[in-house]
Amino acid sequence: MIAQLRVVTQPRFGVGAIGSSLSRIELSQDFYSHAVFALKLAASTLAGAMLTLAVMNNFDRGQATFPSYRSDTSFYSRHGSRMNVSEDLADQQSRGVPLNFPRTVKTLRFVDTGAERGTRSTALIRPAMPLPIKPDSPSFEDMQRSDGSLKLRIPLKGSLQNPAWSPDGTAIAFTRFRNGYNKGPADVYVFNIATNKLQEIAADGSDNVSQPGSTFSRTGHIVFSSDRGGHDEIWIAHGDGSRPQKLTSRPSHTAYEPAFAPDGQAVVFESHSVGGGRKGRVTLFDIARNQYTDLTAADDDCRQPNWSPRGDYILYQKHTGSRWDIWLYDVKTKRHWSATAAIAGDKTDATFSPDGRYILYSGEVPGRGGESLLALPVEGGRPVPITQAAGYHGAPSWSPDGGYVAMEASTHAPDGTAGTHLIITPLQKTLARLASDSR
């Protein structure tokens, strides 16, 4: 908004009959008029600058209105409606940030969401570009299912598990177990769904295992566990498999099921004592400080942690009584609580939606055989089924544009079998239901 100035000019009386004293008064009035004009102009300029800085400051703090997810195949709106994203995308482009990348957020000692629970976070993910997904392409096979699921055409034998989307949505990292479901040796690969190219990341004959969820960092690194050289530790490598590097090194504890923090400066993982420790413990490793922090108690059995894209929560599954439940850890307040205590049955393999508002997990749907995928609001509510077919569906990962979920699947329980394959399921109808339930 630009303030408008009204400039009032004083009439001049330069009649020759007026004496020199009146001439001096006229000169003073003319000087006074110009001075007032200059002061008004300076005040207007200062007010405009302050208003501009305030708007920019609100935008950077996440207090301005942010766009919902948007793509050719789906929408993702807090209120079930699409919003104008052109100005926001233009600003992102002007700052040199890829459109499909989330905003940088601080995590752990660093986190400050600046928002009360139940309100918009300061780190909502930006809209991703439409994903290169076509049912009749070399990368996909139409499974002829009512939910529109597509099978990935990956030319590998063995059990394909634990899919994880790349930040731009064009590739999926996964684990191939060579001898059946969860039976190693295991290898980590990346499959590009746009080019149908398969890239080996770690395939040295040891057990190399990646996880669904936050497996990629924004810098293009991939995190996984490997037992090369002894017991399981956390490793990272470039997206082309080059320059593998071991992150953790503890002779008394194993480390696997790793997930990156949103800023890539830390990893959270499942840890066990070497030599038979059956109970898992969620541990955080600060890469820069080379520091380990146990987030759960040694007497609890906690596994498969994953970090929220907003950096505010870490979820994990905890065995309590006779079942598995999904728990949340608030990074800022260090509080733990169960997100699924009111839901019957086992809940496992949990990850977050790309905006951090939903938990995606594998569990039971009454009246349907096998295990389905369900989405549950972080702030509480009822779970909404994602998959519609019977059979096993697990290890889910939500695409960056919010329009698809990748998962491992089979027509029967996978334990003791040749294994699972990877599929993706579109979420148009599910997103509409989620938007309706969140109103």
- The string of pLDDT tens digits covering residues 362-402 is 999 887 878 999 999 999 889 999 998 889 999 999 999 99
Measured between alpha carbons, how far is 367 from 127 in angstroms, rounded to an integer? Answer: 36
CA angle 200, 282, 164 (to 5 degrees): 30
Residue 258, pLDDT score: 98
Tokens of 150: 């597509």
Question: What's the CA gap between 123 and 109, in Å, rounded?
Answer: 16
Domain boundaries, the chain: 140-437
Say how far residue 83 (Cα) sits from the centre of its chain.
20
Residue 352: name the closest of 387, 320, 377 by CA. 377
Q: Is the pTM of this model over 0.85?
A: no
C-alpha 15, offset from chain centre: 78
Q: Determine contact, residues 336/296, Cβ cutoff 8 Å.
A: yes
Tell me what pLDDT residue 268 has: 98
CA 378 to each of CA 25, 251, 269, 273, 402: distance values in angstroms, whole numbers, following the listed order:
74, 36, 21, 31, 16
Query: What pLDDT is recorded for position 276?
Result: 72
Would you list the DSSP string of 126-140?
PPPPPP---TTSTTE
Phi, psi (deg, nearest 5) at residue 260: -75, 145
Look up residue 296 and give its two tokens.
Answer: 């759960």
Q: How far apart are CA 370 and CA 422, in angstroms?
A: 17
pLDDT at 299: 93
Q: Which of the 8 DSSP states describes residue 207? A: B
SS3 content of the chain, % helix, strand, coil (to 5): 15, 35, 50
Domain 140-437 is in which class? Answer: mainly beta
Contact by Cβ (8 Å): 88, 95: no
Residue numbers in the chain where pLDDT is lower than 50? 1-28, 31, 36, 51-128
